[in-house]
Amino acid sequence: MSETSVQSEQKQSSPEETFKAQTLADYRLAVESREASLIGRREVLTGKAKFGIFGDGKELPQIAWAKVFKDGDFRSGYYRDQTFMMAIGALSTQEFFASLYADTNHDHEPASAGRQMNGHFATQSLDAAGNWKSIAAQKNSSADISPTAGQMPRLVGLAEASKHYRQNKGLKDFKQFSHNGDEIAWGTIGNASTSEGPFFEAINAAGVLQIPMVISIWDDDYGISVHSKYQTTKENISEILKGFQRDGEESGYEILRVKAHDYPSLIETYEKAEKIARKKHIPVMIHVTEVTQPQGHSTSGSHERYKNEQRLAWERDFDCIKKMREFIVAAGLADEEQLDALEKEAKKAAREAKAAAWKEYIAPIKEEIATVRSLLAEAIAAAPEAEAIKAMDQELAASAEPLRRDGIAALRKSLRYLREDQSGLKERIKAWLEEQNQANHDRYSSHLYSESALSPMKVEGVAPQYSDESPNVDARIILRDNFDRILGERPEVMIFGEDSGKIGDVNQGLEGLQDKHGINRVYDTGIREATILGQGIGMAMRGLRPIAEIQYLDYLLYALQVMSDDLATVHYRSKGRQKAPVIVRTRGHRLEGIWHSGSPMGAIINAVRGVHVLVPRNMTQAAGFYNTMLDSDDPALIVECLNGYRLKEQMPDNLAEIRTPLGIPETIREGKDLTIVSYGSTLRIVMEAAAQLAEFGIEVEVIDPQSLLPFDIHHSIRESVAKTNRLLVVDEDVPGGASAFILQQIVDVQEAYRVLDSKPQCLSAKAHRPAYGSDGDYFSKPSAEDVFDKVYSMMHEFNPAQYPAI
């Protein structure tokens, strides 16, 4: 049938006929999705899948929601939204099962290529080369995470992006990202997860910002096995949040309530929510009540263990699909026989999708197993200890549903029995295993960082240049002038955080920039670190380049969960098909007291792999890092030195061009006797000690790694250690913190142990956080005297005669 005839036929359909056809199509989709959930649970319980968590019971609300979800809109949800994803055409039933089986083929499982457990949905914002698609022309889902309420901070940023696209005239040509800011960010969360702090923080932030955000709360009265009476005051989240309800004089939320099994009311409610949010940029909360959960929380437990028979009976009676069927019959849209036939078709489609997904998943694995068994057969013939290899082969042969690891493990074990092989078989097996290692790296370990042409690792360093006319200025001026230039040249950049706007941040690195560039480019936020970071993530996912400021490094801990679970894994968990190149700006290192001298670097670098951690020792380096990262497509944390803003630095003549390279250490003092590695503010202490050591004939080489993630990519520190044969790592983190990481990188990864003449050592802060005041700093963190004494003792051990004990 031609497109013209289809359009003609559609024009001839009456509203009643259209409603009937759409209702029956919705019912069929609900049944197919439910059947997929039921089959999925069985696949887990029979061992074909590892774990299962499903969206049964929420089919109708999600279908109603899908009707008003437009191109350019974004979802930030949780692991129950399968029917919605199916309804918008972003998830086929076969892809649903491919996810359940952890199929690593991105064509089969487009959300994460098997990296995430089922129920974690995503669309692709990037092509295979890492370039942006036109996300304004498609329906979008930001990649899900498991931590409850963890999706909420990101949701705020996704919605705030629309505000910027609507208000910032400089973004009018960014058409691949937005239709003039008309997009809505839609969030979903379970009722129990609204008990989490990120939920309340995000709800408050969106109310303050007045952004187009719609949050659906699926309320089934439980959080796994825990009833809502233990979760929520009054057992009703919309009741306790009604103070957010807008009125004629004050802004706020529109709060709507609807039952999960009331199909007409669901459609009406979501249509109302969409109009309010899309046109007026007013946030909306939809409390969807009387949700059922037919299979309980997940395959890890049965809800019969914690629900009484009365509750279970109620859930059967008020199941949304059962209620929809009753509605269809009562409205005369179809009879029982027609619905039976429709259900039969839908269930058959689910079964066929399951079979097709399994076939596609298992076929390449069986091919690999066949290759393994062929090599094992040769090994059985060649190895003196053939029985052990034969047992492994028989175990593989007996497995009807082998895993990739089974074949790899067997072949690796076979090498133990071929250790004396001279026929070439051992080398052929090793070569095949190496090929598989590379393939499995791509399947399971690639894309932690950008692999595109815009990777920051491909940005060439440009050193600052100076002349006789280059003035000495307070270091903060270098940052301010660089930010001023960035804001003037790049309309997609905005800088925001606590005290960032009106006063130009607490250290005046943004002085006057709000007045110059506008309140929508440089602005203040509330004291809410998790959503500050979430704002950055969401806006970066929509093509903007936010710089999210956390006032002090110590306060980053409020946002560390968001940074670790969400930001650091975006690129990895979507296997390179989503990115969030937000820059997190903060300040830390030595100053005053327990919460204002922050250097919890060990905690940070071990929690945020996937984010570049950059530690400039001065503001010129910092400005270069901002320039480098804005030329790239990865996220970064830039830690400025808190006690460096008023120190004098020379203003580079080429401020706009400087690029501080990642992973390239800088030697800031040449020496021959011992290598000291340190970073940030502590380098000033080290340099002071180095001058004192020189008076006693000890010349230390001082190296600033500049970045901790990545760390010294060309192993240049090893070259220094090869010259001095001694190594000291100086750090103001706790013992075993960042110093342990640095030492592991140099001694283990760079194999500097081969060129050491004495034990490598660390000098760190005390195990506690620093006490207040200058004396507290001196006695809590390494001092110049500490560095001197440590180096001198190492030299004394080497040559007691030349360096007598002090």
- The secondary element (H helix, E strand) that includes residue 198 is helix 197-209
Length of the chain measured in residues = 806
Rounded distance, CA 542 to CA 672, Å? 51
Contact at 8 Å (CB) between 410 and 436? no
* Residue in 120, 517, 589, 596 annotated catalytic: 596
Contact at 8 Å (CB) between 135 and 177? yes
Contact at 8 Å (CB) between 32 and 346? yes
Token readout for 723 is: 């010259």
Q: Which residues contact 556 (CB under 8 A, 6 or more apart)?
A: 529, 550, 563, 584, 586, 598, 604, 637
Count other Cβ atoms within 10 Å, centred on residue 245.
13
Dihedral sign from CA coordinates of 140, 143, 146, 152? negative
Please name every residue paired with 187 in a beta bridge, in sequence order, or none if there are none.
Answer: 76, 215
Dihedral sign from CA coordinates of 647, 653, 657, 659? negative
- CA angle, residues 118, 68, 72, in degrees to nearest 5: 75
Catalytic annotation on 596?
yes
Rounded distance, CA 786 to CA 792, Å? 10
Q: Which amino acid is at 24?
A: L
C-alpha to C-alpha distances, 764 to 296, 344, 692, 777, nearest whole angstrom: 50, 68, 20, 13
> 134-137: long-range contacts at Cβ-Cβ below 8 A with a sequence spacing of 24 or more?
134/175, 134/176, 135/72, 135/176, 135/177, 135/542, 135/543, 136/71, 136/72, 136/175, 136/176, 136/177, 136/178, 136/179, 136/183, 137/71, 137/72, 137/176
Nearest to 633 by CA among 560, 556, 713, 571: 571
> 326-333: long-range contacts at Cβ-Cβ below 8 A with a sequence spacing of 24 or more?
327/263, 327/264, 328/23, 328/24, 328/27, 333/20, 333/23, 333/24
Rounded distance, CA 238 to CA 240, Å? 6
Beta-strand relationship, 74-76 and 185-190: parallel
Active-site annotation, residues: 596
